Amino acid sequence: MELIACAKSLEWALENAPWPYANRVYIVTDSQYVANCHSSARYWKKSGWRKQSGEPTANEDLWDKILKSIGKLSKLGVRVDFVYQKGKKTEIGKKVDKAAKTAARRGGIDEDSGYKPGSFSRSMVRDGTATVRFPASGQVIVIRPYVKKLRRKREEGISFNVFQELTELYVGKFFAYAEPSLAAALHRGNGYRVRFNSDSQFPQILEKLEDVLLPKPTPKKKDHA
């Protein structure tokens, strides 16, 4: 959402250019992802939308729109700067937050044309909120995929829990990558014994060794008044 807002803002600046008394556009964002990564995006693009480790980047369609708008504005003599500011701390920040929430409640026909659907299930681990990069070091373990993020002609991102066979417990919320043909064979909600590569910066599932039967989730007990 933060990237879409930036892309739309720059498109608006282009549509209303030239600016006779302005030569700079400030993108003020409360997203550290946007503020920290905008300068890296041009290098990702030159590398085929991959990071230095070889890991594929996310949101390349939106980053590409932003880079193209920055390039067009530059030709008009307008510089674009990104500034991080903690959200809802200033008067204008509060107004933007209110406007965004009003638009969300409004709904309508707006559509994120860059959204790429995947298959989803729920994580078996409730603690924490973030999915972290799996510390790959050649392990052979059992995983339970719960989200697959589809990518065109590239490795697909897979979010999964690790299943510990001795304790029959699920631990962690991790992500790694797999070639499209292998990713297609790893269905959400099922168990698989897989082998990883040895690169913690670009974790990849290299091989599915076997299917593993997982215990059925224990249904929640209903509270009775």
Q: How many domains does the chain have?
A: 2
Q: Which amino acid is at 106?
A: R
124 shares its domain with 100: no
Reported as a pLDDT band with limits 50, 70 and 90, residue 224 is low
Domain that holds residue 173: 119-212
Tell me the two tokens of residue 190. Answer: 């099922």
Q: Which amino acid is at 146?
A: Y
What is the helix (H) or strand (E) element at residue 39, kind and residue range?
A: none
Q: What is the CATH number of the domain that holds 58?
A: 3.30.420.10
Which phi and psi angles does 182 have, rounded to 5°?
Answer: -75, -40
pLDDT tens digit sequence for 12-38: 999 988 877 888 999 988 888 998 899
39 shares its domain with 83: yes
Task: Decide if pLDDT at 177 tops 50.
Answer: yes
61 shares its domain with 125: no
Query: What Rg do the C-alpha atoms of the chain give, in angstroms?
Result: 22
Handedness of CA 135, 156, 182, 175 (dihedral sign): positive
pLDDT at 73: 92
What CA–CA distance (Å, rounded) separates 222 from 225?
10
Question: 29 by DSSP, 3-state: which?
Answer: strand
86 shares its domain with 124: no
